Chains A and B, each alone.
Chain A
Amino acid sequence: MDLDLSPDQQELQAAIGRMAAPYQSAPAGDTSYYLDGMPLYAEMEAGGFTNAAAMDDYGALGGLLLLEAASALPYSVPLTGAALVAPMAVREGLKGPVALAFSGRGAAVRHLPMASTLLIVGDDEVRALDLAGRQVEALRSIFADPFGTISDHEMRQGRRLDGVRPQDVVKWWSVGVAAEIAGAAAAAVDRTVEFVKMRRQFGRPIGSYQAIQHRLAECEVLADATRMLARRAAVTGDAAAAFLAATYAEAAAGRITYDTQQFHGAAGLTREIELHFFTYRLRSLQGELAGVAGSAARAADQLWPRREARPVEKHLVA
């Protein structure tokens, strides 16, 4: 048991931090719904960072650290598929960025407009679709990451990946979502802590009110616990741990979004401060894997297998 990052992992984290530093805040005056983090992605890929999870020194935690850090930036950096899911569950090099979708559910796929490959999870197979020349429509989304849509017909053109198991893809996707929630949650809480120290009402900082202190402290506990569970899932590679981490994270995301937005007052509902990148990112991550119900159903199947299968919505159990 050693719950600190190893020296190698710490070094990796510091290197990621240096690379991400120029992307810590949005350009002055920018009011976009999302900021294009492809330049950072390209830099990370060129530096070999997106492959950290496949390296013995780092393992899955290497990929996870990338996701945690990127999700705490206002910029959208499409790392989930390329830096974690592909190296851990597919192992064959896919052209990144890699977007992720369940087959037949291409209505709103995160990072699709940026992606080179779409990894498609079916009931009993996994396909990879090279997106070059494919019909991908970018959606006008208000969330902090770009979304796109793709037809069932296009999805079916994907190449079947032999030996890649759908449950492994969903497992690592769950770990990724938990890590991204951990990153965005930490960023939302940090920014809110700074805000409530500065904002004064009734002659004192609103952060001195216990009603606000306690709820923010609870958010901090949720964010810390989310990160711990995600890291544990990454390090152990255990399926139950992955789905438990995602379940916890998804529930935390709703709560943290609400409180951090609330404590910013009306300002929290604008595109003139950066909070929205994190709250809206949290909101979209919350339901990406069918939310608490979906992740909890997967975890329960690991923890308390049923004697006979009962009908469950297919995409929930994948």
Chain B
Amino acid sequence: MDFSWTDEQTAFRERLQGIIARALPADWGEKSRYDTSSAYMSEFSRTFCPMLASEGLLIPHWPVELGGGGMDPFHHWILGEEMFYVGDPRSYQYMNVNWVGPAIIQYGTDAQRREHIGRIASGTTIWCQGFSEPSAGSDLAALSTRAERRGDGYVLNGSKIWTSGASLADYCFLLARTGGPGTHGISVFLLPTKMPGIEIRVVPSFMGQYSFHEVFLTDVQVPAEMRLGEENKGWTIVRSVLHNERIGQPRYMLSMRVLEHAMGLLVARGEDTELARARAVQAQAGLEAARYLALGVIDRRAKKLPVDTSTNIARYALVTADRLVADFLCDFLHDDVTADIDPLISVGFRRTGSTGLAAGSAEIQLNLISKHHLQLPAVA
């Protein structure tokens, strides 16, 4: 067992830190509020990502043949950690490079690759994820947005909800029903967001500025060329490319930073009581557990082992750790949390609320651990 990074990995991390530090403005915290979904961050990504691309750091984990750096999963994860530490200035472009691009590369036609891959790899386009619907959350396979065959194309009707960044995005990676019920009747569409019949409404929330939207689709006419992969094979596509995302982003990086900052404030004020210190340690231990369990998943990936329930275990550990951070902030930094002035404290508090929902809810993780890991019996 080895818990250390190689010199090469450390150098990669330091290079990233240097580049990020030079790219972010001095008042990054104030301006971005570490909010991935903010209009500011999204706009920033349109210059930040091309800069990363020019440094070979936007898609370093893509295969060399596709313009990537052919780097291993640990490098990819280090990239994610360093980005998340500052709130991820790639904004939602992190999705492009993590799974939208790879999905198009794997399942797209030549024309689709020509249309999308160049833009994704140069950091100039923003995607959103149109999966969840009012009646299809955890039970995503129940989605009912329909894509009816008409002539050479399809007509889309239905609605999506919770879509992050929809009003900022150029494209939506959309799931719609082209066949019968269940997982076998779903197809993927690569849908431009500015098309007749698409209406996007921001859902006011306690998350980021543009974290949640409703997307209404009324008689949206799309050519068949916008369908990704075979008809009714959407579920297979999503499962294969989202494997990597199930564990979620390295959110613990920002939470660790928040905790460090919060303890710095308490120590400076002489308010770090024994109880506060103990609770901070418990949160820190939880975050480190989440980090090393996540790195265990990355280690399996690097060794090309199949995805297993260690992913769900790591994810659940993160959910509980983030809860400890939120509890800590509310108990010991009441004034800072309520005044909402300190961007790190604010984001630390706000963000932790969504850890147990986005990318598969906490309870769904427990279901999967029970079923596949503990092999407990199903309800008859």
Contacts and interface: CB of A to CB of B under 8 A. Distances in A.
Interface of A: 1-6, 9, 61, 193, 196-197, 204-205, 207-208, 210, 212-214, 216-218, 220-221, 224-226, 228-229, 231-232, 235-236, 241, 243-245, 247-248, 251, 292-293, 295-297, 299-300, 303-304, 306-307, 312
A228 B274 contact: no
A64 to B, nearest CB: 10
Given A6-B1, A213-B366, A292-B278, A207 B376 contact: yes
A303 B279 CA distance: 13
Interface residues of B, number: 50
A229 B285 contact: yes
A303 B376 contact: no
Interface string B270-311: 001010011111101110111011011011000100000000
A197 B292 contact: no
Contacts, number: 157
Given A208-B378, A217-B374, A232-B292, 14 more contacts: A212-B376, A217-B367, A217-B369, A218-B316, A225-B289, A228-B292, A236-B3, A244-B285, A248-B289, A297-B278, A303-B281, A304-B267, A304-B280, A307-B267
Nearest to B279: A296
7 tightest A-B CB contacts, nearest first: A225-B289, A213-B370, A296-B278, A300-B277, A217-B369, A296-B281, A248-B285
B296 A213 contact: no
B1 A299 contact: no
Given A1-B2, A232-B292, A247 B277 contact: no
A221 B299 contact: no
B379 A208 contact: yes
Nearest to A229: B289
A228 B299 contact: no
Contacts of B1: 2-6, 9, 61, 231, 235
B285 A245 contact: yes
Q: Name the prevailing secondary structure of the B interface residues.
A: helix
Contacts of B286: 248
20 contacts: A9-B1, A196-B376, A204-B380, A208-B377, A214-B367, A214-B370, A216-B370, A216-B374, A228-B293, A229-B285, A232-B3, A232-B288, A241-B288, A247-B285, A248-B285, A293-B274, A296-B278, A296-B282, A300-B278, A304-B263
Contacts of B296: 3, 228
A141 to B, nearest CB: 28
A231 B289 CA distance: 11
B281 A225 contact: no
B276 to A, nearest CB: 9
A181 to B, nearest CB: 13
A20 B380 CA distance: 38
B205 interface: no
Contacts of B6: 1
Contacts of B293: 224-225, 228
A306 B376 contact: no
Contacts of B3: 1, 3, 232, 235-236
B244 interface: no
B295 A221 contact: no
